[in-house]
Amino acid sequence: MGDMADELQEAMECRDAKKRLLQTIRELGKNESTQEDMHRRLAAVKSAQVGTRVKCPTCKKRFTKKTYQHTFCSRKGRNNCKDRFHNIQPHRIERSRAYA
Ligand SMILES: [Zn+2]
């Protein structure tokens, strides 16, 4: 009886570990597609005409493109959209994958 409880416990822990691993993989995948989406959105903003409504590549907020270089809704202050965009770089994802 005791052995069976141990086995059950082990099986549960194994299942939990598997669940956690799947979760990590899902999150990494999400990061990757987000990064890809961000670059796609940045390309869209870059090719948009000045004076048109565009979507911020980082936060998806809509804003009017004021100048040719205006590609993010904010580029001032801490954690602004321009910095956040550049902080999400492939090597960061690679590193988090190595620790996963
Ligand atoms: Zn933004």
Q: What is the pLDDT of residues 2-28, one digit of tens each?
A: 688 888 888 888 889 989 888 887 777
H-helix or E-strand spanning residue 16:
helix 2-47
Cα 29 to ligand 1 centroid, rounded to whole Å: 22
Residue 18 CA to ligand 1 center (angstroms) comes to: 36
Q: Dump pLDDT digits (tens) for 41-66.
A: 999 999 999 999 999 999 999 999 99
User: What is the model's pTM?
Assistant: 0.57
What gap in Å lies between CA 20 and CA 51, rounded to an integer?
A: 46
Identify which of 89, 100, 95 has the alpha carbon closest to the alpha carbon of residue 32: 89
Pairing of strands 62-64, 53-55: antiparallel
Q: Which has the higher per-residue pLDDT, 51 or 97? A: 51
CA distance 4 to 10: 10
